[in-house]
Structure 1
Amino acid sequence: MVRPDASATVVAMELTPLRRASSGAVLGGVCAGLARRWQVDPTVLRIAMVLLALLGGLGIAFYVGALLLVPKDGSSEFPLYRLAPFTRSWSPAAAIGAVVGLGVLITVAVGSWLPFGLAPVVGLGFLWYFGFHRRRHPHRPDAAGQPGNGAPSGQNELAGPSDTAALPTASTPSALPQTDFERAAAAWRERVVQERQGTPAGVSDVSAGDPPATLPLYEYRPTPPPAVSNWTPPAPRATRRRPKWLWPLVLCLLGGGLATLAVLSVVFGVIVPPLAYAATVLGALGLGLLIAAFAGRPRGLLPLAVVAGLVTIAMLVPVPRPGRVGTETVSYTTMAQLPTTEQNHGAGDVTVNLSGLDVTETRQIQFSQGAGTLAVSLPTTGNVIVEWSIGAGEYHGPDTSRDGIDLKGNYQRILTPGAPVLTVVLHTGVGEVTVS
């Protein structure tokens, strides 16, 4: 009998193919499958996925990749093959490469308007690896340094020098028993094998009249557990206090804060942003949770505070306007016609004609494109500066042509120093920018 090694359980778990869970799934079963694999609470992974989504959009890219590559329970085929039948002829390496490329595009497109970059993700990764992973899965010592390579500790206490030769041997040193019970069991199995073969080890020639030598056996005596003195049963768990007066207090704080903002807005004409209302709700609930830490928490206060916190965070994140979709062509011939705000186009082809524009004053115009082609014709005369950026795609201009990911650059055409300058700011998430 050999004791199960804890590291063997970890290795078996790591070799088990990952599957998306069918039971307990919320959105595709990715977090539930990982929680089942890592033996953790799925709620923790869901919260971590939301945080990763805010950190450069990495969580969104990872979740989409898992939905396309990780099969569900009872299946072994990439879901990508079922969602996109034309990919069935692709090899697994090609499918994984395509999904990784899609994840990069998602990260570039989404991460461009998120308030956080990828630097916190790298820091959290180092913290997880060195603070959790290395401590949970330490490197196993070399086989030569394990106690089982030599004679087991405590063996001399159980058998004398003459008994050492009769101990059962194994093919590898790591298979030697380690405990008293395992040594006794191994000796007994060896004794049974020798009896069945009819020639036990250490037996003299029976025909010569020598009595057969018996294989020494070990007596297993389990160590009794230590006695516990003055043991008292644990006290029954006290019923959690749920004060009835805390909810009215929180509602009074909430109503007073919202009423104050309404008076400032209506009576005194102060411009109160929507974020101030969400922050007031979150502040009242947070104060209620602080009081509940000492007086007891009523039902529903913590979930409502979590929802209010998520809403406040969502309002802090700038959300780009979806813009228009389709093909659009605009032309400007005078400075008065130039737009004063950023022109956003969701998807399609946009052509901006400035060739007939006379630059008579210093101005700046901005054009943003989600996906597609953005073509700009510059004025034939006057000073012009072009600042462009592309998440993933190509740029073609009078000065250079480039393609790749996260491209940025500028082009200057100063014909008359000191004269007014027109600055054109161009941005495309995925697509092509052409300046002529």
Structure 2
Amino acid sequence: MSRTDVGETLREMWETRPARPRDDRQVAGVAAGIARRYDIDPVLVRVGFVVAAFSGIGAALYIAGWILLPDEPAGPADPRANRPRKWLVVALAIAAAVTMGSVFGGNGPDWILPLLVVAALLYLLHRSRGDRGQRAAEAPTVAAPMAAAGPPLVGEPTGAAGSTEPPVNPPAWDPLGAAPFAWDLPEPSPPPAEPPPRRLPVTPVTLGLALIVGSATAVIMMLGGMLTLANLAVLCGVVLAVLGAGLVVGAFLRTGRGLIPFALLLGSLTWAIVAAPVDRWEGDGYGELVAAPTTVAALQASYERGAGEIDLDLRNLDLTVPPDGNTSPVRTRISMGAGDVTVRVPSTADVTLTAQAGFGDVRFGAREDDGPDAHVQVINDLGTDGVRSGRPLVIDIDAGLADVEVRRG
């Protein structure tokens, strides 16, 4: 494929871009317009926007379509455009604000790749179905010829009082007016309507395949010793791939909408497992863990909780260099599945911190990060005195669904 072909396709995509219809709108008709242009189920397009929202660009793409796609012109007999649902507009505005915050917050690589994927999918869709969805020109309506007035038939009453005059216009069964003597006969009954075509059972078949494929994947992982909480996202991803394939097939066959709740539920669960891996919940017990060691020997190498709270007070930890001159770093690690982590360090200690949470909030002084994959990394923070003194303190915090705070003093 040459560069000229790509340019021609892009130009054609712009010139034949869809108009947003006045009916079948949920918000602004962007998904419905794209679906009608390429003759696919609008539910598939709406699901695509929802999936893109998980990558942070779905709301921005919808707003771009709202701006770039023209509104369908209204005719004198056309109904008024459906007004967008207020709660959907509010949700779209909130999602767009979050998207813009992530874009201008320095997370460029996190949204550039999904944007390129969406652009490639639209390009391939136009290449394969660009000739679909065009409005066919309406065939002109040909009026039936009028029968010429002729002499009355023998025995037919002509103009007498109480006489029955034949119809002026020919009936539908005689458009050419060849049998005016029978125009007063009743219209023949229309042929029975054909039953609607039977839709393929995409929803039950896909759910059955998802159950079979998921069970087979679980058995294979179990036999290979890989069926662990850490690999639970892989199993969910396999089942989600089957549901996604069923949605794509159902979109072209105009069926399979029953898969949408299952796909959204499993997609949200998979995203939550990836954002906050459940293997971090396998800590040492649950509940509150409070520790305040004062010597390096009393400081444990790790503090773990599956769920609960960890409060580690290191303000009185002796970090002075011992007589033997040992200046090696003092290390500790904290693991939390779900809950709160609070660490207090001496105000003058030299701190190196690596803290991350699958989903939550991570803070150290003025440094803060929140949301999915929140992390803060600090190397050789010298504290309030601004000079290197004593043994450095190295803290590694790994959390799932948690709020993490490290503060001085």
Q: Could you state the TM-score of these two structures normalised by the residue count of structure 1?
A: 0.36
- The structure richer in helix per residue is 1
Structure number with greater CO (CA < 8 Å, separation at least 6) is: 2
